[in-house]
Amino acid sequence: MTPELTALTLAALLQILQMGLFSVLAQRQVGAHYAASPRDEGLGLTGAAGRAQRAMNNHFEGLILFSIAVFTVTWADRGDGLTAAAAALYLMARLLYIPAYLFGWAPWRSLIWMVGFLATAIMLVAALF
């Protein structure tokens, strides 16, 4: 497996962990009865549960672009040290983004997000050349 595909696999596993974290925090806030209901009446999550939900959703968005970058680099056979480093950087940024969001590390959360975003952009550009 290429380093880029390994990073993508680990990023997907990280997303599964984020979903679990969000689920636990959200259920603590709204209770088991509401969590098991059809949720016809939406409840806005606050605090750690709301932050975990937003961090999880943000990773879903980032994971789409990162997946495109990894697949493009892999299928175009353009993987090299730069794309491997960018993939590792994306993964490290996403790992740091979770506590940055949960604990409100401002402005670090935005800077960490930017690192992951730029790593993805580097991979996309590298796939073209």
Residue 99's domain spans which residues? 3-128
**Token couple for 93:** 């940024």
* Helix extents (H) in 37-128: 47-75, 81-102, 108-128
Specify the CATH number for the domain of residue 45.
1.20.120.550
Six-digit token string for 79? 């993987």
Tens-place pLDDT, residues 97-127: 999 999 999 999 999 999 999 999 999 999 9
Per-residue confidence (pLDDT) for residue 32, from 0 to 100? 77
User: Which pLDDT score is estimated for 84?
Assistant: 98
Write down the pLDDT at residue 38.
73
Task: Give the per-residue pLDDT at 39.
Answer: 65
pLDDT at 31: 80
**Closest by alpha carbon to 90, among 57, 65, 72, 73?**
65
- The pLDDT value recorded for residue 43 is 75
Instruction: Report the domain count for the chain.
Output: 1
Question: Which pLDDT value is given to residue 29?
Answer: 87
- pLDDT tens column, 28-71: 988 877 667 676 777 788 999 999 999 999 999 999 999 999 99
Burial class (CB in 10 A: 0-12, 13-18, 19+), 88: middle
